[in-house]
Amino acid sequence: MKIGSEERVRALSRFGSKPGLSRMRALMNRLGDPQRGLRVIHVAGTNGKGSVCRYICDGLRANGYSVGMFLSPYMTDFRDAITCDDEIMSRTSLDEYTERVFLAIDGMLADGLESPTEFEVVTALALLFFSDSPVDFVILEVGLGGRADSTNIVDDCLLSVITSISLDHCAVLGDTVEEIASEKAGIIKAGRPVVNGASGAAKAVIEREARRKGCKSIDASGIVPRDIVTDTDGTVFDAEVGGKAYARLRLSMIGRFQAENAVCALCAFKILKEDCGVALDEGALRAGLSRAALPGRFERVDHSIFPVNDRETSSVGNPIVVLDGAHNPDGMRRIAETIGSLFPRGRTLTVFSALKDKNVAEMLGICAGFSAKVIVTETENERKASVEELREILEEVRRASSALSVARDMAIKAPWDATEAALREREAYDLILVTGSLYLIREIRGRLRGL
């Protein structure tokens, strides 16, 4: 029986993640280097880069431009990561481009070269697809790091955007924010403008790299959003970017940190308009920003679609159910800030999973601080922290804080079972949060969509 395109690509996961561009160069060369000639906006960072991509995409589209976008990781189906004007790659196109890419891979193997990894192949599929599509711009989100990431096969771009930087993927990128910033600054291209959304020591590293390569740089982290109001419907704020005042900008994405992400996008729009000659209307930009949304980022879902036994709700009422892929301590702190703002006296039940190469103890420590109860679970990813490991860490966290030791936490191996268990207790909580790993979010969203 013929193996489907998705199965062929996913089978390459056995090669794991291997930083470096040698395989990607060989593959793209055999495909005719389709990345050349694309008008690319390249986005790296630890947190916020997906949201920044979304804001830039929707701002450009609201101005009438056609936009291809590649995001990682995908949420449900890896075709979700490859969109042209918000339409995901069709299965027919996937089959066509997969066949072309694997013919090139066969040539590489015949020449004794190493096989590309799964992410490298998905990146190649995206770039090949965009090169054949009539897009005005391509937005590429870096997968891991920057310098050695497969998206960095693009040797020129309109501009680079680097969002906030914190400790993550330390085994690959380095043990300090300076080392990690250096890797992410590897996407900066000589003479091309840079939006620098990092702060502190990371900001200085990126500034030095921009100067070394003769790049204009905008300090986005130095632009502080003002009068931020966030609620369960979105975020509103004021900002001044390059001397231009933006009053009461409205976002549908939730959280004070989303205002910072939107400022990065506004800086990118300033560069596109002033340095790249891109015509942009403020009213259209506002409309694009206001409708931008990203799956798995404080994403509200209707808990009535969960097949759990109904019970009478108490005076607390029906809780909000949120999916958020806060996959590192900095992301978890942002979630804590958002929950503290939206539910200052509310009760939260959290379903949590994480990869073992993350700082799980710190993540769970933050999570336990805002959660009356935590249910730990595990994903199917080979890098997962097991449910037993998570339970032990959570117990240590609770013991370290006697004020939190009254919680009756649980450990349930299957993510869907853990989520259903949380919903069965919904009458006692104001918020049910599923978080800690984008792979967990992917699994739960897939079940909700019947995939």
DSSP code per residue over 312-351: ---TT-SPEEEEE---SHHHHHHHHHHHHHH-TT--EEEE
The CATH class, in words, for 299-448 is: alpha beta
At residue 310, the pLDDT reads 41
Lowest mean pLDDT, pick from 251-265, 333-347, 402-416: 402-416
Q: What is the largest CA-CA distance in the chain?
A: 69
Lowest mean pLDDT, pick from 279-288, 390-399, 406-415: 406-415
Res. 319 pLDDT band, cuts 50 70 90: confident
Lowest mean pLDDT, pick from 133-142, 184-193, 305-314: 305-314
Between residues 4 and 122, which one has the greater pLDDT?
A: 122
Mean pLDDT calculated for residue range 370-383? 90
At residue 306, the pLDDT reads 46
Tell me where in the chain the CATH 3.90.190.20 domain(s) lie: 299-448
Rounded to two decimals, the pTM is 0.90
Res. 176 pLDDT band, cuts 50 70 90: confident
Res. 450 pLDDT band, cuts 50 70 90: low
CB atoms < 10 A from the CB of 7, how many? Answer: 9
DSSP string, 237-283: EEEEETTEEEEEEEESS-SHHHHHHHHHHHHHHHHHHHTS-----HH
At residue 193, the pLDDT reads 97
- The tokens describing 306, both together, are 């969960």
Residue 87 has pLDDT above 50, yes or no: yes
What is the CATH code of the structural domain delimited by 5-291?
3.40.1190.10
Q: Is the dihedral of CA 248, 253, 255, 256 positive or negative?
A: negative
At residue 169, the pLDDT reads 53
- The tokens describing 269, both together, are 């729009």
At residue 75, the pLDDT reads 72
CB atoms < 10 A from the CB of 337, how many? Answer: 15
Residue 307, CA atoms < 13 Å, CB-side half-sphere:
7
